[in-house]
Amino acid sequence: MPAAIKKAFPHAVMLTYVAVILLPFLFVLFSSFKANNVEIATRPFGLPKTWAFENYKEAWVKAKINVYFWNSLYLSLSSAAVGVLLAAAAAFALVRMKFEAVSRWIYQYVLIGMLIPGNVLFIAQYLLVRNMGILNTHWSLFLPYTAGALPLSVLLIAAFMRSIPGELEEAAIVDGLRAPGLFLRIVLPLTVPALVTVFIINFLGNWNEYLLANFFLSKDSLRTLPTGMVGFRDAFQTNYALVCTGIVYSVVPVLVIYTFLQKK
């Protein structure tokens, strides 16, 4: 019996951990189907008395979740994808190409960006996008999202690229490949696990970002999901069912991305 208990204990701990993680999500999911705030407050973890499926339609159309959702989705995907490609190219140049006397210093310079908190750069970023004339456009988020993720992305991808055997590149060079061919046909396919990891990290950071989106975008049609959901509440009353519905909508892309990319 002690051996059985010892064997079951780690599983019990993990099940408890999973339950703790799932409870808030179940609360949000059940609340999104409830009819009013009173039911949410009195029966927070109970099933809805009447399943209010119309909450999802109301949130999607009337509350403009459809606008905020697609704004967030294409901004997060595009900036994460471009950031990964730029970071991969930079990491290849700094790690796999032979100009070590300079590349070491450039690499350290890039990594300095990880030491600077993003909020410290807020005023400088605001002045920059204003002077560039892109304030209140999606470019004002795309450029900071892409550039801000580069230091960590270069660090992770460069660390992975260092593990690739040099003999593969030597054989490719003998076959006539130059630097672009080495990058696209040899190194990049072998770096897919690191690229996917960096893409997920960047996507989540962009998807959840609030500060820049709140101050750089004032047009309601340009707002992202985190800033658009603030409009679900006012000074007198908050429709918590719609708030929970918006949260469910915001979780779906993350679950989909993890489902399709977890094997990588």
Q: Is residue 51 part of a domain?
A: yes
pLDDT of residue 199: 94
Q: What is the pLDDT of residues 169-184, one digit of tens each?
A: 777 777 777 777 788 8
Claim to verify: residue 42 and residue 107 sit in the same structural domain:
no
> What does each C-alpha distance from 126 to 130, 132, 145, 224 come to in angstroms?
6, 10, 13, 17
Residue 249 is assigned to a structural domain of this protein: no
Q: Are residues 20 and 132 in the same domain?
A: no
Q: Is residue 134 part of a domain?
A: yes
Domain total of the chain? 2
Q: How confident is the model at residue 235 (pLDDT cuts 50, 70, 90)?
A: very low
- In whole angstroms, what is the distance from residue 36 CA to residue 191 CA? 50
Q: Are residues 14 and 80 in the same domain?
A: no
Print the domain residue range for 207.
64-232
Q: Examine the domain organization and report whether 159 and 39 are in the same domain.
A: no
Q: Does 243 reside within a domain? A: no
pLDDT the model gives residue 173: 76
Are residues 71 and 22 part of one domain? no
* 212 contacts: CB under 8 Å, gap ≥ 6: 122, 125, 140, 141, 144, 145
Which is more confidently placed, 96 or 65? 65
Mean pLDDT, to the nearest integer, of 217-240? Answer: 79
Instruction: Express each pLDDT in 57-79 by its tens digit.
Output: 888 887 788 899 999 999 999 99
**74 and 180 assigned to the same domain:** yes
Predicted local distance difference test score (pLDDT) of residue 81:
95
